[in-house]
Amino acid sequence: MSRFGFNVAVVGATGAVGEQIVSILEERSFPVKSLKLLASGRSEGKKMMFRNKEITIEKTVPDSFEGIDLAFFTAGSAVSKEFVPEAVKRNAIVIDNTSAFRMYPNVPLVVPEVNEADLKNHSGIIANPNCSTIQMVVALEPIRHHFGLSRVIVSTYQSTSGAGKRFIEEMYSQSLTVIKNKTLGKDTVYQDPDTYPIAFNVIPQIDRFVENDYTFEEMKMCQETKKIMHLPELKISATCVRIPVERGHSEAVYFEVEDTDVDAQEIKNVLSVTPGIQLIDNPEERKYPMPYFAKGKKEVFVGRIRKDLDIDRGFHMWVVADNLLKGAAWNSVQIAESLLKMRLLPKKSSK
């Protein structure tokens, strides 16, 4: 590692997102002076590689953040609520991947392509949005900028990796059981005893239901979009569905613009030159985004752009992204790179 750089910690380093963050920090040559990998006691003592050196996983405790400049949190809301204040108290800047602090008024919720300037207002904590929210707002922001935006209705098709490593394994295990036995036992469950098999199935529930019969995941998408885009009056609703795909979230997005004279080609033209977006939209040749091709890629893929048949200002599009990259790890590292570019990180140390 270089003598110059920042002391960085990754909490939840052995999880799907934590592993990706470590990999991207190395790939992007982020100025890391030292890297501390933290997890629960179950992973303590395991090893991970970073820049050709073996690093031992440590158990997360408050003193883990002594001397840390930048901490990435990926281990779940309960862990973040317990340890983020400890990291901030020790002068670390935190980029938190959980929902723990996203809607706090003094915590910026950031997608760099959309609201990078909000980073100037952080007080030690920066929240990484929900994975499905990130890819949607990346696609919607250039549309809002050029044509205005008044309404959004989104249906998501979210992969099992969004629920964590063990649910990927569960999907494959269930699938093999079905292929071998043609059925699943009644005791086969997905996520918890009150839900259903994911193999050869779709589940129209992600996270718990709230009082209005939307799920917490759906409410996160609505509330976070308004905050990120600074559109508190935006009309938005969501339906979030878990599907038997390993990696990559897909979204059918209906949106209404404010301009009265816009066609689908104009929207395509704007998206085709927007950084971070790859337009794949050629129905005649059956070219459109799919999670199969988005896996391992950092871009947000957009296609199937078409005008609504009945609503003059209404349009539809199909949005796909790797939920572990742009939906989590890559967006987090982008935030760190933005902090560096904007000189919002502590001065690099050579000690």
Q: What is the pLDDT of residues 202-257, one digit of tens each?
A: 999 999 999 999 999 999 999 999 999 999 999 999 999 999 999 999 999 999 99
Q: How confident is the model at residue 341 (pLDDT cuts 50, 70, 90)?
A: very high
Sign, CA torsion 155/167/74/337 = negative
Q: Which CATH number does the domain housing residue 186 bear?
A: 3.30.360.10
Measured distance CA(203)–CA(186) in Å, rounded: 16
Q: How confident is the model at residue 195 (pLDDT cuts 50, 70, 90)?
A: low
Q: Is residue 351 part of a domain?
A: no
Residue burial 120-134, b: 16+ Cβ < 10 Å; e: rest:
eebebbbbbbbbbbb
Q: Does one domain contain both 43 and 185?
A: no
Measured distance CA(120)–CA(63) in Å, rounded: 27
How confident is the model over 61-104, as pLDDT tens digits? 999 999 999 999 999 999 999 999 999 999 999 999 999 999 99
Q: Does one domain contain both 252 and 210?
A: yes
Mean pLDDT over 127-147 rounds to: 98
Residue 5 has pLDDT above 70, yes or no: yes
Q: Does one domain contain both 87 and 224?
A: no
Q: Reduced to 3 states, what is the DSSP secondary structure of residue 156? A: strand
Q: Which CATH number does the domain housing residue 20 bear?
A: 3.40.50.720
- The secondary structure of 268-314 as a DSSP string is HHHHHTSTTEEE--BGGGTB---HHHHTT--SEEEEEEEE-SS-TTE
Measured distance CA(147)–CA(263) in Å, rounded: 11
Q: Is residue 346 part of a domain?
A: no
Q: Would you say the pTM of this structure is higher than 0.95?
A: no
Q: Measure the CA dihedral 282/155/225/16, to 10°.
A: -90
Give residue 143's domain range.
Answer: 133-322
Q: Does one domain contain both 105 and 222?
A: no
Q: How confident is the model at residue 165 (pLDDT cuts 50, 70, 90)?
A: confident
Q: Is residue 286 part of a domain?
A: yes
Residue 3 has pLDDT above 60, yes or no: no
What residues have CB less than 8 Å from 285, skipping those under 6 apart?
Answer: none
Q: How many domains does the chain have?
A: 2
Residue 189 has pLDDT above 80, yes or no: no
Q: Does one domain contain both 174 and 260?
A: yes
Q: Does one domain contain both 100 and 174?
A: no
Q: Is residue 200 part of a domain?
A: yes
Residue 348 has pLDDT above 90, yes or no: no
Q: How confident is the model at residue 1 (pLDDT cuts 50, 70, 90)?
A: very low
Q: Is residue 347 part of a domain?
A: no
What the block records as the tokens of 223 is 């509330």
How confident is the model over 300-310, as pLDDT tens digits? 999 999 999 99
Q: Does one domain contain both 152 and 253?
A: yes
Among 236, 240, 336, 317, smallest CA distance to 274 is for: 317
What the block records as the tokens of 320 is 């796909």
DSSP assigned state of 81? H
Q: Does one domain contain both 30 and 137?
A: no
Q: Where are the beta strands (DSSP E) in the chain?
A: 6-11, 32-39, 47-50, 53-56, 58-59, 70-73, 93-96, 125-127, 151-158, 235-242, 249-256, 277-279, 300-307, 314-321
Catalytic residue among 122, 131, 146, 240: 131
Measured distance CA(338)–CA(236) in Å, rounded: 28
Q: Is residue 192 part of a domain?
A: yes
Residue 146 is a catalytic residue = no
Measured distance CA(203)–CA(198) in Å, rounded: 7
Measured distance CA(92)–CA(34) in Å, rounded: 14
Q: Does one domain contain both 56 and 82?
A: yes
Report residue 126: phi and psi, to 5°. -125, 130
Measured distance CA(236)–CA(223) in Å, rounded: 9
Sign, CA torsion 219/222/226/228 = positive
Residue 249 is a catalytic residue = yes
Q: How confident is the model at residue 176 (pLDDT cuts 50, 70, 90)?
A: very high
- pLDDT, residue 182, reads 72
Q: Does one domain contain both 108 and 196?
A: no
What the block records as the tokens of 245 is 């795909």
Q: Does one domain contain both 162 and 277?
A: yes
Residue 193 has pLDDT above 50, yes or no: no
- pLDDT, residue 349, reads 53
Residue 216: exposure state from Cβ atoms within 10 A (0-12, 13-18, ≥19): middle
What's the mean per-residue pLDDT of the chain? 94
Measured distance CA(79)–CA(198) in Å, rounded: 27
Q: Does one domain contain both 12 and 92?
A: yes
Catalytic residue among 122, 145, 230, 249: 249
